[in-house]
Structure 1
Amino acid sequence: MWDTRLKGAELTPFSVEVERGRLLAFAKATGQDNPVYFDEMAARAAGHPSLPVPPTFFFCLEMDGPNPMEIYERLGIDYAHVLHGEQHFVFHRMAFAGEVLCFKPRLADLYEKKGGALGFLVWETRVEDSAGAAVADLRTVMVVRQPKQRGLA
């Protein structure tokens, strides 16, 4: 199905600033009720330098890369056949509004199930701060449904 020689390939790294306004919109959209996520004074009173980044927001920031479809393009995958499988996080420290974070994605694994009817791609992304210290490790699993070929039983 895929060129398994791409397993382990690095994708394009990029940096993105954590914007306060996007954090506020995310907090509202996800129904945050803890004021540290939407009130700068509450965040500072809790000992944070600014609004903290909620865990799943790292995946929103990852979509800010120069080409969010790079992994699918390199593998020749039609995105219309992609399903979300899993997300995992390992946090090394909190991140905050105003920080510039560097995302370093790589294609960690490719495998098939059900006789090739389902393909799985796993990519891992190291998130670092501007000094190069680890902030988080993200792991995403996507499932690719192979379209049934017409005229075959």
Structure 2
Amino acid sequence: MPLDPTVIGTQLPPTTMTVDAGRLRFFATAIGETNPIFTDRDAAAAAGHANLPVPPTFLFGIELESPDPFAWLAELGIDLRRILHGEQSFTYHSTAVAGEVLTAAPTISDVYSKKGGALQFIEKSSLVTRADGDLVAELKTVIVVRNPEGGK
């Protein structure tokens, strides 16, 4: 089933999380980050941070905090067995640190197809802000949907 371009501009439910220092340390270790500012509060303070800074790519996980982070795909009629994570990018405007409350507000920003419709793409853009509305980052995710009816 081809993706309906009228979904472009659809705002998806926002997700809010309080950034936890323990999760930041775990994430930094998991991605192989060795800079101590991401795991040691004294090192972070010496580098000028109020607390442990959020490691690169951590913000992608905010939206995964929702009870069903892929419900919006199912609502579009997409079979989750046919999706792949295609791309993600980050534009940082400021550094978030442990203890801050961040909200990710996603919007479907584009849909398109390639290979005669055999591959469909959904681009989702998210703004990550602090509780006071200050912009932390802009995120972009591209999801690839294999369409068994396309490309014929």
2:115 matched residue in structure 1: 114
Where does residue 134 of structure 2 map in the other structure? Answer: 133
Structure 1 length normalisation: TM-score?
0.93
1:52 partner SS:
coil
Unaligned runs of 5+ in 2: none
SS of residue paired to 1:76: coil
Q: Distance in 1 between matches of 2:14 and 2:62?
A: 12
2:95 is matched with 94
CA distance in 2, matches of 1:137, 1:55: 13
Residues in 1 aligned to 2:32 and 2:89: alpha-carbon distance in whole angstroms:
21
Q: Percent identity?
A: 47
| Paired residue type of 1:96 | V
2:59 match: secondary structure: helix
- Per the TM alignment, residue 81 of structure 1 is displaced from its structure 2 partner at its CA by 0.8
Instruction: Name 1:144's counterpart in structure 2.
Output: 145
Partner of 2:124: 123
Partner deviation per Cα, 1:74-109 (whole Å, 9 max, x = no partner): 211111111111111111100001100011100001
In the alignment, is residue 55 of structure 1 matched against residue 56 of structure 2? yes
Aligned partner of 2:39 in structure 1 is 38
Aligned equivalents of 1:70 and 1:93: distance in 2?
A: 30
CA RMSD of aligned residues (A): 1.5
Q: Partners in 2 of 1:135 and 1:66 — Cα distance? A: 23
TM-superposed deviation, 1:148: 5.9
Separation in structure 2 between the aligned mates of residue 22 and residue 134 of structure 1, nearest angstrom: 22
- Judge conservation of contact 1:121–1:141 (CA < 8 Å) in 2: yes
In the alignment, what sits opposite 1:78?
Answer: 79
Contact 1:14 1:66 in 2 (8 A): no
Q: Partners in 1 of 2:46 and 2:71 — Cα distance?
A: 41
Query: In the comparison of the two structures, how many residue pairs are matched?
Result: 150
Q: Which 4+ runs in 1 deviate beyond 4 A?
A: none
Which amino acid in 2 is paired with 1:147? P
Counterpart amino acid of residue 132 in structure 2: A
* Residues in 1 aligned to 2:15 and 2:87: alpha-carbon distance in whole angstroms: 23
CA positional deviation for 1:4: 1.7
Contact conserved, 2:15 with 2:62, CA < 8 A, in 1?
Answer: no
Work out the CA distance in 1 between the residues paired with 2:79 and 2:98: 35
Amino acid at match of 1:88: S
